């Protein structure tokens, strides 16, 4: 399948349950498109934070996909529902600053088992691009690992109580 | 001043009293009030003047009452606690009495969000029952809130409102008892369309002997049209209009709806006269004050007794 | 907790328009709880502003920091070595936090990013309701633990007013009538007669009194 020749950059956040062999399967596209494509496997789509999408866009992704398991098929019950809401929230944030909210797109796989991440990504890439390249010039790129490392520091609001700084303080 | 409250005299003489409501203008012209007053003169015992009703700024009740007093009517000053703190409230009470106003109706008032000044601060320093208590103290003990003595107390017949149709129904009469023990001497109710429910409420009122402690006047608002009935049923807080009434209006041809509405009003008044403990009727025909004389006559309440 | 909401972005942008280096300061207490000014929200706002600057071809360098509490000097002091490097501080603290930071660093421009709203509780995830107005004279015990000052739209102490519909306040059909709650609770406990006596007028001086209030505890002061 032909990959996009339009020069856009993409980020794919997706639930690992969709493709057990995703680590292998994504290599071919990574090789073809190099820095123009980044894959972020998640233990559950519900681990996506709006901030991840923002950071992906900030570091050059023209289009960000979040791919979740089908309705009612989430292994963690509500992960995909949560992911949908967080994507919607991130869409509102970029719409607020005048960017096309469609730069963030939430999708559910049609069924499990799903096609490989390679197939899914190629289908999406083959679509008519509906977003323009980001309006600013040079695209600084952080190595993909950077974003995920930050992810571990974030608290996962909604999954458990926020862990605030544990330092006890008394005034006197 | 040696003026007396005609309302008080009519009620204590045992007559079925008639009061009506009068809405002041949204402007500074005193003649508009005088005209309304003169329309009602002779057909009612007293005239209530609303106090920035629904949070809409109008000529203040105090001034309008003073104008009506000059025209020879017996005004009822409606005073809400939404717009004034206790300093202003007590001050206005003294002012009202000084101007010869002899009746006061103590209310909390509709919330400011309903009116034309939605950014206003709702004061609610006191509530309606606390205001009743304060006025009584001022009159009977000649003392302000806090205990300071007045040089002269205000001579006022104190009233409060009651809504037999509001939630929670089981508590309405207990609250009425509170108002009466706080000092309310006459009660004007929300307008009545649901007679069975009103009778139920009056039963509870009588059970507690409240009809012996305060004069209860039943509220009546004549319906102008079916649309008015529907609007009120849906939009006015605390209103209970049974479907039978709405359907009765709806099934009347539009040109005759006004007459039908009046008919219902007359029937309601006649029914009220039969209920033990109801000592009068309070007609609220806001912006339709012209209909009051007709209504009073049809209900057989004209002429008003000589006092 | 104290709740707040992020100001409209246009307002924030206007306040920081001239700045190129911003310290974006969150708070880990109340505003984190109500998802408006915590570490996460700070990161989101920072990212949004940076993307916006890029889009408009402006330079904007940001640093994100979140203090445990923005209203306590012990934490604000952590900014000492940092604040001087920035043109301004965009604070996601409540009004108390913004002002406290401004007192510690009076020459810095501390820009509020939030509108502080009310004292309230988390009713459900994502839903916060006002339940206290800080009247300084708590009467909850008289009213079955339902505050009439806060939850009755007219602040009645001898309610209900008679305007409620389907047990909801006449002002907002989503707001339960506080007096309906009070009366029902007392009835269920068999304590309805506690409402017989007229509750006297409130002592608003405990709230409005002599300007901004203070608490001074000599046993706690150094």
Q: Assign residue C44 the CATH number of its domain.
A: 3.40.50
| Three-class secondary structure of residue A172 per DSSP | coil
Instruction: Report if residue C217 sits inside a domain.
Output: no
Per-residue pLDDT, averaged over C170-195, amounts to 94
C156, C166, C192 ranked by CB distance to B127: nearest: C156
Instruction: Write out pLDDT tens, residues C24-34.
Output: 999 999 999 99
Residues of B in contact with C167 (CB under 8 A): 167-168
Per-residue pLDDT, averaged over B77-101, amounts to 97
Asked whether the predicted pLDDT for residue B236 surpasses 50, the reply is yes
Rounded to a whole number, what is the distance in Å from the CA of C208 to chain A's nearest CA? 28
Domain boundary (C95, C118, C141) is at C118
Name the token pair of C121.
Answer: 């509780």
Average pLDDT, chain C: 95
Q: How far apart are CA B294 and CA C63, in angstroms?
A: 77
pLDDT of res. A164 = 43
Instruction: Report if residue C145 sits inside a domain.
Output: yes
In a shared domain, residues C137 and C97: no
**Chain A residue with Cα closest to C69:** A165
Chains A and C touch (3+ CB pairs under 8 A): yes
Task: Say if residue B95 is preceded by a cis peptide, omega within 30 of 0.
Answer: no
Question: Edge-to-edge strand order for the sheet containing C110-112?
Answer: C61-67, C21-27, C88-91, C110-112
Instruction: Write out pLDDT tens, residues B163-217.
Output: 999 888 889 999 999 999 999 999 999 999 999 999 999 999 999 999 999 999 9
Instruction: Report if residue B285 sits inside a domain.
Output: yes
Q: In this complex, do C198 and B182 lie within 8 Å of one another by their Cβ atoms?
A: yes
Q: In this complex, do B237 and C165 lie within 8 Å of one another by their Cβ atoms?
A: yes
B86 pLDDT band (50/70/90 cuts)? very high
Asked if C38 has any chain A CB less than 8 Å from its own CB, the reply is: yes
Count of domains observed in chain C: 2
Residues of C in contact with B166 (CB under 8 A): 160-164
- Domain layout of chain A by residue ranges: 10-153
Rounded to a whole number, what is the distance in Å from the CA of A67 to chain C's nearest CA? 21
Instruction: Write out pLDDT tens, residues A4-40.
Output: 456 899 999 999 989 989 999 999 999 999 999 999 9
CB < 8 Å & 24+ apart, contacts of B202-205 = B202/B164, B202/B275, B202/B276, B202/B277, B202/B278, B204/B172, B204/B173, B205/B173, B205/B176, B205/B277
Instruction: Write out pLDDT tens, residues A51-68.
Output: 999 999 999 999 999 999
Q: CA dihedral in degrees (B63, B64, B66, B68; nearest 10)? A: 170
pLDDT of res. B286 = 81
B22 in Cβ contact with B67 (< 8 Å): no
B252 pLDDT band (50/70/90 cuts)? very high
Average pLDDT, chain B: 95
B103-107 and B75-80 beta bridge pairing: parallel
Q: In this complex, do A54 and C47 lie within 8 Å of one another by their Cβ atoms?
A: yes
CATH code: domain A10-153 is 3.40.50
Residues 201-220 of C with CB under 8 A from B: 201-202, 204
A137 pLDDT band (50/70/90 cuts)? low
**Chain C residue with Cα closest to B160:** C161
Asked if C134 has any chain B CB less than 8 Å from its own CB, the reply is: no
Instruction: Report if residue C143 sits inside a domain.
Output: yes
pLDDT of res. A143 = 40
Rounded to a whole number, what is the distance in Å from the CA of C165 to chain B's nearest CA? 6
Instruction: Report if residue B242 sits inside a domain.
Output: no
Instruction: Report if residue B69 sits inside a domain.
Output: yes
Q: Number of helices and strands (H, E) in chain A?
A: 6, 4
Residues of B in contact with C201 (CB under 8 A): 86, 125-126, 130, 134, 145
Instruction: Report if residue C112 sits inside a domain.
Output: yes
Host H or E run for residue A65: strand A63-68
Residues spanned by the domain of B32 = 6-223+275-298
Q: In this complex, do A162 and C48 lie within 8 Å of one another by their Cβ atoms?
A: no
What is chain A's Cα-based Rg? Answer: 17
pLDDT of res. B83 = 97
CATH code at position B183: 3.20.20.220
Question: Edge-to-edge strand order for the sheet containing C2-6?
Answer: C2-6, C114-124, C127-132
Q: CA dihedral in degrees (C39, C45, C50, C52; nearest 10)? A: 170
Average pLDDT, chain A: 80
Q: Tell me, what's the ipTM?
A: 0.89
Place of tokens 């008032």: B109
Asked if C77 has any chain A CB less than 8 Å from its own CB, the reply is: no
pLDDT of res. A129 = 79
Q: How far apart are CA B159 and CA B174, in angstroms?
A: 17
User: Where does C12-163 show beta strands of DSSP type E?
Assistant: 21-27, 61-67, 88-91, 110-112, 114-124, 127-132
Among positive and negative, which fits the CA dihedral C151, C152, C155, C156? Answer: negative
Q: How far apart are CA B230 and CA A132, in angstroms?
A: 54
DSSP designation for B140: I
Domain boundary (C118, C149, C166) is at C118
Per-residue pLDDT, averaged over B210-236, amounts to 94
Residues spanned by the domain of C64 = 2-118
Per-residue pLDDT, averaged over B74-82, amounts to 98
Q: How far apart are CA B204 and CA B212, in angstroms?
A: 13
Please, where are the H alpha helices in C60-166?
Answer: 73-76, 80-83, 95-104, 148-151
Q: How far apart are CA B266 and CA B296, in angstroms?
A: 8
Instruction: Write out pLDDT tens, residues B122-132.
Output: 999 999 999 99
Asked if B181 has any chain C CB less than 8 Å from its own CB, the reply is: yes
DSSP designation for C173: T
Q: How far apart are CA A105 and CA A91, in angstroms?
A: 9
Asked whether the predicted pLDDT for residue A169 surpasses 50, the reply is no
Q: How far apart are CA B229 and CA B240, in angstroms?
A: 10
Q: Which of A61-75, A134-148, C130-144 has the highest mean pLDDT?
A: C130-144
Neighbours of chain B (3+ CB pairs under 8 A): C
B215-220 and B46-49 beta bridge pairing: unpaired
Count of domains observed in chain B: 1
pLDDT of res. A1 = 38
Asked if C157 has any chain B CB less than 8 Å from its own CB, the reply is: yes
Asked whether the predicted pLDDT for residue C191 surpasses 60, the reply is yes
More confident residue, A138 or B257: B257
Instruction: Report if residue B76 sits inside a domain.
Output: yes
B135 in Cβ contact with B106 (< 8 Å): yes
C65 in Cβ contact with C27 (< 8 Å): no
pTM: predicted TM-score of the whole model, two decimal places:
0.86
Rounded to a whole number, what is the distance in Å from the CA of C193 to chain B's nearest CA? 9
C210 pLDDT band (50/70/90 cuts)? confident
Q: In this complex, do C160 and B122 lie within 8 Å of one another by their Cβ atoms?
A: no
In a shared domain, residues C144 and C69: no
Name the token pair of B86.
Answer: 């206790």
Give me the residues paired with residue B188 across strands. B161, B217
Q: How far apart are CA B237 and CA B234, in angstroms?
A: 8
Asked whether the predicted pLDDT for residue A2 surpasses 90, the reply is no
In a shared domain, residues C192 and C138: yes
- Among C41, C44, C124, C221, the strongest candidate for a mutation testing the A interface, having the largest count of A CBs within 10 A, is C44
Q: In this complex, do C154 and B113 lie within 8 Å of one another by their Cβ atoms?
A: no
Rounded to a whole number, what is the distance in Å from the CA of A74 to chain C's nearest CA? 21
Instruction: Report if residue C29 sits inside a domain.
Output: yes
Q: How far apart are CA B154 and CA B98, in angstroms?
A: 8
Rounded to a whole number, what is the distance in Å from the CA of A135 to chain C's nearest CA? 6
Q: Which residues contact C176 (CB under 8 A, 6 or more apart)?
A: C151, C167, C168, C169
C9, C51, C57 ranked by CB distance to A57: nearest: C51
Asked whether the predicted pLDDT for residue A170 surpasses 70, the reply is no
Name the token pair of A74.
Answer: 């989430």
- What distance, in Å, lies between the first and last C-alpha atoms of chain C? 27
Asked whether the predicted pLDDT for residue A144 surpasses 80, the reply is no
Instruction: Report if residue B139 sits inside a domain.
Output: yes
Instruction: Report if residue B108 sits inside a domain.
Output: yes
User: Where does B163-302 show beta strands of DSSP type E?
Assistant: 186-191, 215-220, 278-283
A50, A58, A157 ranked by CB distance to C50: nearest: A58
In a shared domain, residues C7 and C114: yes
With 0-12 / 13-18 / 19 or more C-beta atoms within 10 angstroms meaning exposed / middle / buried, residue A107 is: middle
Size of interface B-C (CB pairs under 8 A): 96
In a shared domain, residues C38 and C8: yes
| Three-class secondary structure of residue B68 per DSSP | helix
In a shared domain, residues C198 and C108: no
- The residue among B30, B10, B31 whose CA lies nearest residue B19 is B10
Give me the residues paired with residue A39 across strands. A12
């Amino acid at each position: 399948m032909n990959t996009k020749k339009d020069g856009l950059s993409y980020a794919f956040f997706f639930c690992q349950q969709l493709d057990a062999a995703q680590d292998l399967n994504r290599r071919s596209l990574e090789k073809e498109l190099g820095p123009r494509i980044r894959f972020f496997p998640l233990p559950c789509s519900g681990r996506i934070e709006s901030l991840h999408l923002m950071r992906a866009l900030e570091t050059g992704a023209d289009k960000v996909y979040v791919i979740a398991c089908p309705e009612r098929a989430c292994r963690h019950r509500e992960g995909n529902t949560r992911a949908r809401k967080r994507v919607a929230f991130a869409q509102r944030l970029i719409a607020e600053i005048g960017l096309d909210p469609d730069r963030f797109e939430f999708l559910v796989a049609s069924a499990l088992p799903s096609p490989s991440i390679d197939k899914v990504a190629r289908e999406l890439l083959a679509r008519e691009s509906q977003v323009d390249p980001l309006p600013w010039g040079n695209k600084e790129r952080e190595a993909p690992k950077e974003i995920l490392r930050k992810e571990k520091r974030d608290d996962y609001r909604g999954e458990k109580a926020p862990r605030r700084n544990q330092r006890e303080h008394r005034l006197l | 001043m040696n003026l007396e409250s005609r309302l008080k005299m009519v009620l204590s003489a045992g007559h079925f009293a008639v009061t009506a409501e009068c809405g002041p203008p949204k402007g500074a012209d005193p003649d508009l009030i005088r005209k309304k007053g003169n329309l009602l003169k002779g057909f009612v015992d007293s005239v209530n003047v609303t106090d920035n009703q629904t949070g809409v700024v109008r000529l203040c009740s105090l001034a309008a009452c003073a104008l009506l007093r000059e025209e020879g009517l017996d005004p009822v000053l409606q005073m809400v606690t939404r717009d004034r703190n206790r300093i202003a409230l007590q001050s206005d009470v003294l002012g009202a009495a000084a101007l010869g106003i002899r009746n006061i109706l103590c209310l909390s008032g509709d919330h400011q969000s309903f009116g034309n000044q939605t950014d206003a601060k709702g004061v609610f320093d006191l509530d309606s029952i606390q205001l009743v208590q304060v006025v009584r103290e001022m009159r009977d003990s000649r003392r302000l809130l806090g205990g300071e003595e007045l040089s002269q107390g205000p001579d006022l017949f104190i009233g409060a409102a009651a809504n037999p149709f509001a939630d929670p129904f089981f508590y309405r009469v207990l609250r009425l008892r509170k108002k009466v023990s706080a000092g309310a001497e006459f009660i004007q109710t929300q307008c009545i369309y649901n007679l069975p429910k009103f009778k139920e409420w009056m039963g509870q009122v009588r059970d507690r002997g409240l009809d012996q402690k305060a004069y209860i006047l039943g509220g009546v608002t004549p319906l102008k049209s079916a649309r008015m009935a529907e609007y009120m049923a849906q939009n006015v807080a605390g209103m209970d209009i049974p479907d039978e009434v709405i359907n009765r209006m709806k099934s009347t041809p539009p040109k005759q709806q006004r007459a039908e509405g009046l008919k219902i009003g007359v029937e309601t008044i006649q029914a009220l006269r039969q209920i033990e403990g109801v000592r009068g009727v309070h007609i609220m025909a806001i912006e339709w004050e012209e209909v009051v004389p007709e209504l009073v006559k049809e209900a057989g309440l004209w002429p008003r007794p000589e006092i | 907790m104290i709740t707040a909401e992020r100001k409209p972005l246009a307002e924030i942008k206007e306040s920081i328009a001239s700045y190129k280096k911003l310290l974006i300061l969150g708070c880990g207490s109340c505003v984190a709880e109500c998802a408006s000014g915590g570490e996460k929200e700070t990161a989101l706002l920072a990212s949004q502003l940076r993307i916006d600057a890029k889009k408009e071809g402006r330079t904007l360098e940001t640093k994100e920091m979140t203090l445990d509490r923005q209203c306590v000097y012990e934490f604000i002091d952590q900014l000492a070595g940092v604040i001087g490097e920035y043109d301004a501080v965009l604070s996601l603290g409540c009004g108390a936090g913004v002002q406290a930071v401004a007192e510690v660093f009076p020459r810095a421009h501390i820009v509020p990013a939030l509108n502080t709203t009310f004292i309230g509780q988390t009713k459900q995830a994502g839903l916060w309701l006002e339940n206290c107005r800080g009247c300084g004279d708590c009467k909850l015990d008289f009213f079955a633990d339902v505050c009439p000052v806060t939850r009755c739209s007219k602040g009645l102490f001898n309610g209900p007013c008679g305007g409620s519909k389907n047990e909801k306040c006449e002002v907002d059909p989503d707001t339960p009538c506080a007096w309906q709650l009070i009366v029902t609770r007392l009835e269920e406990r068999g304590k309805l007669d506690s409402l017989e006596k007229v509750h006297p007028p409130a002592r608003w001086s405990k709230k409005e009194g002599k300007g901004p209030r203070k608490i001074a505890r000599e046993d706690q002061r150094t």
